[in-house]
Structure 1
Amino acid sequence: MHNNIMAAGSKDRPPMLGPGRYSQWRSRFLRYIDTKPNGEGLRKSILSGPYVPSTVLVQAVAATEGNPAIQQHTTIETVLNMTPENKEHFLSEKEAIFLLLTGIGDDIYSTVDACKTANEMWIAIERLQQGESLNVQDVKTNLFWEFGKFTSRDGESMESYYSRFYKLMNELTRNNLQVTTMQVNVQFLQQLQPEWSRFVTVVKQSKEIDTISYHTLFDILKQYQNEVNDIRAERIAKSANPLALLAAAQPYSDNYYQAPKPQRSNATSSSTRPSASTRHKGKEIAKLVTPQSESVSEEDSDPEQAQRDKGHAK
Structure 2
Amino acid sequence: MHNNIMAAGSRDRPPMLATGRYAQWRSRFLRYVDTRPNGDALRKCILEGPYTPTTVIIPAVPATDNSPAVPEQTTVETILNMSPKNKAHFESEKEAIHLILTGIGDEIYSTVDACKTAHEMWEAIERLQQGESLNIQDVKTNLFWEFGQFTSHDGETIESYYTRFYKMMNEMIRNNLTVATMQVNVQFLQQLQPEWSRFVTIVKQQHKLDEVSYHKLFDILKQYQKEVNELRAERMAKNANPLALVATAQPYQDPYYQTSKSHKSSAPISKASLPTRSHATTRHKGKETAKPITPPSESAYEEDSDPEQAQKTSSEG
Q: Please report the TM-score for the alignment, with normalisation by the length of structure 1.
A: 0.73
Over 3 Å counting, the alpha-carbon distance change for 1:125 and 1:8 in structure 2 is: closer
Q: SS state of the match for residue 79, structure 1?
A: coil
Q: SS state of the match for residue 70, structure 2?
A: coil
Per-residue deviation at 1:5?
4.5
Whichever residue aligns with residue 222 of structure 2, its letter is K
Aligned to 2:244: 244
Whichever residue aligns with residue 33 of structure 1, its letter is V
Over 3 Å counting, the alpha-carbon distance change for 1:71 and 1:184 in structure 2 is: same
Aligned to 1:28: 28
CA contact (8 A) 1:112 1:124 kept: yes
Per-residue deviation at 1:72?
2.8
Write out the 4+ residue segments of structure 1 that deviate beyond 6 Å after TM superposition.
none
CA contact (8 A) 2:7 2:17 kept: no
Whichever residue aligns with residue 241 of structure 1, its letter is N
Count of residue pairs brought into register by the alignment: 253
How many angstroms apart in 2 are the aligned matches of 1:9 and 1:154? 50
CA contact (8 A) 1:195 1:232 kept: yes
Aligned to 1:151: 151
Superposition RMSD on alpha carbons, in Å? 2.4
Aligned to 1:60: 60
Aligned to 2:91: 91
Per-residue deviation at 1:2?
8.4
How many angstroms apart in 1 are the aligned matches of 2:66 and 2:109? 56
How many angstroms apart in 2 are the aligned matches of 1:30 and 1:135? 25
Deviates more, 1:100-109 or 1:171-180: 100-109
Whichever residue aligns with residue 108 of structure 2, its letter is I
Over 3 Å counting, the alpha-carbon distance change for 1:250 and 1:176 in structure 2 is: same
Deviates more, 1:207-216 or 1:241-250: 241-250
Map of 1:3-82 to 2, 5 A cutoff? Answer: 3-63=3-63, 68-82=68-82
How many angstroms apart in 2 are the aligned matches of 1:184 and 1:248? 44
Q: SS state of the match for residue 74, structure 1?
A: strand
| Residue segments in structure 1 that go unaligned for 5+ positions in a row | 255-314
1:92-115 Cα shifts (integer Å, max 9, x gaps): 111111222222223322322222
Per-residue deviation at 1:224?
1.5
1:152-196 Cα shifts (integer Å, max 9, x gaps): 111111111111111111111000001111111111111111111
Aligned to 1:116: 116
Q: Please report the TM-score for the alignment, with normalisation by the length of structure 2.
A: 0.73
Map of 1:220-299 to 2, 5 A cutoff? Answer: 220-247=220-247
Over 3 Å counting, the alpha-carbon distance change for 1:67 and 1:201 in structure 2 is: farther
Aligned to 1:197: 197
CA contact (8 A) 2:16 2:105 kept: yes
How many angstroms apart in 2 are the aligned matches of 1:195 and 1:244? 23
Q: SS state of the match for residue 92, structure 2?
A: helix
Paired-residue identity, %: 76
Over 3 Å counting, the alpha-carbon distance change for 1:249 and 1:134 in structure 2 is: farther
Whichever residue aligns with residue 156 of structure 1, its letter is E
How many angstroms apart in 2 are the aligned matches of 1:211 and 1:66? 95
Per-residue deviation at 1:26?
1.2
Per-residue deviation at 1:88?
1.2
Whichever residue aligns with residue 240 of structure 1, its letter is A
How many angstroms apart in 2 are the aligned matches of 1:220 and 1:76? 80
How many angstroms apart in 1 are the aligned matches of 2:6 and 2:37? 21
Aligned to 1:265: none
How many angstroms apart in 2 are the aligned matches of 1:46 and 1:118? 5
How many angstroms apart in 2 are the aligned matches of 1:162 and 1:83? 68
Q: SS state of the match for residue 51, structure 2?
A: coil
Aligned to 1:218: 218
Q: SS state of the match for residue 128, structure 1?
A: helix
CA contact (8 A) 1:33 1:43 kept: yes
| Residue segments in structure 2 that go unaligned for 5+ positions in a row | 255-317
Per-residue deviation at 1:56?
2.5
Aligned to 1:127: 127
How many angstroms apart in 1 are the aligned matches of 2:120 and 2:39? 19
Over 3 Å counting, the alpha-carbon distance change for 1:111 and 1:92 in structure 2 is: same
How many angstroms apart in 2 are the aligned matches of 1:177 and 1:64? 79
CA contact (8 A) 2:15 2:103 kept: yes
Q: SS state of the match for residue 162, structure 1?
A: helix
